[in-house]
Amino acid sequence: MARILAALAAGLLFGAGLAISQMMNPAKVLGFLDIGAIPSGGWDPSLAFVMAGALALTLPLYALARRRTAPLFETRFAWPTRSDLDGKLLAGAAIFGAGWGLVGFCPGPALAALAQGGVAALVFFGAMLAGMALFSLTMDRKAA
């Protein structure tokens, strides 16, 4: 029960952060990705400040976690272990970047905007789930 409540609290914090930083607004995100607007003064660097604000807390909290043998409510830490750069990673990041630049939604903001984003946010979320399912069906051999 504790780990369910902890996950709920983490989700609430994450969603509040996306709302307060306006990263749930695709127009705001595209304003950051639009580096072509730098010469005219129309560029919006806010997203970089969101990343900086996040890393300022995640870095020290992860360092703290590294020094512990186990998390509070689980038996072990699920740290990712891979460090190699493979084709799937690079191609996946490029495909994701293309969709991100097209609409301005990445997965977190797409969920955060579900309640307030109208039909377009619902369409994006449905298509994103379909894209994930397509990956599981075609590329993810472990899932079969």
Partner 1 sequence: MENFTPWSALIGGALIGLSAGFLMLANGRIAGISGILGQLITPREGDNGWRIAFLAGLVVAPPLVTLLGLASGEVRIDVSLPLVLLGGLLVGFGTRLGSGCTSGHGVCGLARLSPRSLAATLIFMAVGAGVVFLVRHLIGG
CA dihedral (72, 63, 97, 115) in degrees, to 10, reads 40
88 binds partner 1 (CB under 8 A): yes
69 binds partner 1 (CB under 8 A): no
94 binds partner 1 (CB under 8 A): yes
36 binds partner 1 (CB under 8 A): yes
| Count of CB atoms situated within 10 Å of the CB of 117 | 19
Pair 27, 104: CB distance under 8 Å: yes
84 binds partner 1 (CB under 8 A): yes
60 binds partner 1 (CB under 8 A): yes
For residue 37, give every residue at least 6 positions away whose Cβ sits within 8 Å of its Cβ, in sequence order, or none.
31, 43
67 binds partner 1 (CB under 8 A): no
Ramachandran region, residue 118 (left: φ > 0; alpha: ψ -120 to 50; beta: rest): left
CB of 142 to partner 1, least distance (A): 7
68 binds partner 1 (CB under 8 A): yes
CB of 76 to partner 1, least distance (A): 6
Checking 116-124 for CB contacts under 8 A at 24+ apart, the result is 116/24, 117/24
CB of 122 to partner 1, least distance (A): 10
CB of 39 to partner 1, least distance (A): 10
141 binds partner 1 (CB under 8 A): no
